[in-house]
Chain A
Amino acid sequence: MSKILIGRYIPGDSIIYKMDPRGKLLACIAFIFIIFLANNWITYAIITLFSLFAVFETKLKPKVFWDGIKPLIWLILFTSLLQLLFTTGGHIYWKWLIFTISSFGIINAIYIFIRFTLIILISTVLTVTTMPLEIADAMEWILTPLKYLKVPVDKIALVMSIALRFVPTLFDETVKIMNAQRSRGADFNDGGLIKRAKAIAPLLVPLFISSLQTAVDLATAMESRGYRGSEGRTKFRVLKWSKYDLYCLGYFILLVGLLLIFRAK
């Protein structure tokens, strides 16, 4: 069960894996903006091809990406349907009360569908090829300029990495407590909403207490190992830019260039 939770990172060995997590994170954020450059069939085709190539480059099974889209499929369909039914303009095929299906509506619905799917695909590429820890490192790097605004970036980074490190531990703990309470007759899966909410109490209370205990123990261990705040600390994990990040940059420049050329005025 814990395998699902931890960022769904799937180990692999393709070019995307070798990229610097900072590059990947920035590329993923940039992609969300770039996708709005597309506004006609050609540009959508280009951006779809480029995204599918990135997906292909991960050398992972298509099922992984389908799993990424699946939880959001209803949201995608719902949004597309709204676009379909409420957009007017162009040739009108069908009209009933406030609902209309027009040529603009159909096109818009398809655009929205593609846009949504591509954003999910690209963020899935990021999460499956990058370890959560690397993403945390990348986020720390992106936050670094905030130091000038007196934001304690180092401490936030430490908090992030400790939080990530304890996700599986707390998850195991939760399963253990659930089983222990089950063996004493607790029932987590039956009854109405209120009964189920009540059943959570014997799970949450011990979990809170054990987290606090863990925090105290960890603080003691950290202090006795010489931790005294982030000042004067060096870093063991250092991110390095590689030539693969240049490939990615080139890829993006090409994509933006093509989009700008074929974009409808």
Chain B
Amino acid sequence: MPNKNIIQLHNVTFTYPGSHKAAIDNLNLNIEKGSWTTIIGHNGSGKSTITRLINGLLVPDKSDDTYIEVDGIKLTEDTVWDIRDRVGIVFQNPDNQFVGATVADDVAFGLENRGVPHQEMQKIVSEAIKSVGMSNYTNMEPSNLSGGQKQRVAIAGVLAVKPKIIILDESTSMLDPEGREQILTIIKNLKEQNNLTVISITHDINEAAIADEVIVLNDGKLISKGTPKVIFTKDKLLHELGLDIPFEFKLRQKLIEKDISIPNDIQSEKELVKYLCQLNSTM
């Protein structure tokens, strides 16, 4: 089904120049349209490399059977700009991706590159800024903004060019908990409104828990793939890879260790709270 998977990586291997080991090792990956996918893995497992492969910043090692397909377009030298039109990336460091001298300039940068006429730009920019709740800061300079605000501007810049896929490359890792919460809420709402596909790369395990699908990566290989429920019950595997699990799963584990039986289908925080209350009332 060509329409269901918006991103396909087929047998992709990538080795950084000067390195002996492949950063991405024969990876096969399909990402469903309209889904929220989280990629987790320890440092140096190749998470960020995947995003750079998807939008053509890095080119995979040559092989006959390798291809990357985004929204039905095969990634080649000719199509790389079409693909970059469809993929928007919000990077890790909010300071180092702010191109414009003011908020509005930065949001307009992607539109300028695409040759959008001035009149249209004005409208699109103010709408994009509004959608991330930064209207009061339109003419502010980046040095006067907080990290969370800068990341919101980056999201607005990505939205302005109307991509189909948003990639969050550890976008919340340099933010405080409040900023992180805000960014995730904004992305969630925007995803609903615009039917976006979101790929988030993260160390934050709670961010991973809200995904539709979690992909676990180790040394450039795909170790496991599934819904957060499936992945986070594999606590032994995750522990071996040096990864943590979300609080509700940890609590569930501890309770089972204490011989409190909890049915397998109870996984989310809400369900757990409800079940424990019921348990309390029957005791």
Binds A, one of B16-24, B62-70, B99-107: B99-107
Question: Whole-angstrom distance between the alpha carbons of A172 and B145 in the complex?
Answer: 13
B114 CB contacts on chain A under 8 angstroms: 226
Considering the complex, which residues of chain A in the window 1-26 have a beta carbon less than 8 Å from any beta carbon of chain B? 2, 6
Pair A224/B118 contact, Cβ less than 8 Å: no
Contact A236:B112 (CB < 8 A) given known A168-B143, A220-B91: yes
B116 CB contacts on chain A under 8 angstroms: 234
Chain B interface size, under 10 / 10 to 19 / 20 to 34 / 35 or more = 35 or more
Pair B111/A236 contact, Cβ less than 8 Å: yes
Interface flag for A57 (CB, 8 Å): no
Pair B121/A224 contact, Cβ less than 8 Å: no
Question: What is the total number of residues of chain A having a CB less than 8 Å from a CB of chain B?
Answer: 30
Contact A234:B97 (CB < 8 A) given known A168-B143, A224-B89, A225-B157: no
Contact A224:B55 (CB < 8 A) given known A214-B96, A234-B112: yes
Q: Name the one of B99, B104, B112 contacting A162, with C-beta atoms under 8 angstroms.
A: B99
Pair A226/B96 contact, Cβ less than 8 Å: no
Q: How many A-B residue pairs lie within 8 Å, measured between CB atoms?
A: 95
Considering the complex, which residues of chain A in the window 158-188 have a beta carbon less than 8 Å from any beta carbon of chain B? 161-162, 164-165, 168-169, 172
Question: Whole-angstrom distance between the alpha carbons of A2 and B141 in the complex?
Answer: 13
Interface flag for B179 (CB, 8 Å): no
Pair B57/A238 contact, Cβ less than 8 Å: no
Question: Whole-angstrom distance between the alpha carbons of A161 and B99 in the complex?
Answer: 9
A228 CB contacts on chain B under 8 angstroms: 81, 113
Contact A221:B96 (CB < 8 A) given known A234-B118, A236-B108: yes
Contact A169:B95 (CB < 8 A) given known A133-B102, A236-B108, A236-B125: yes
Pair B101/A223 contact, Cβ less than 8 Å: no
User: How far does the Cβ of B112 sit from chain A's closest Cβ, in whole Å?
Assistant: 5
7 contacts between A and B (CB under 8 A): A161-B105, A169-B142, A224-B89, A225-B161, A226-B85, A234-B118, A236-B109
Chain B residues close to A by CB (< 8 Å)? 52, 55, 57, 81, 84-85, 87-89, 91, 93, 95-102, 104-105, 108-118, 121-122, 125, 141-143, 157-158, 161
Chain A residues close to B by CB (< 8 Å)? 2, 6, 133, 161-162, 164-165, 168-169, 172, 213-214, 217-218, 220-228, 232-238
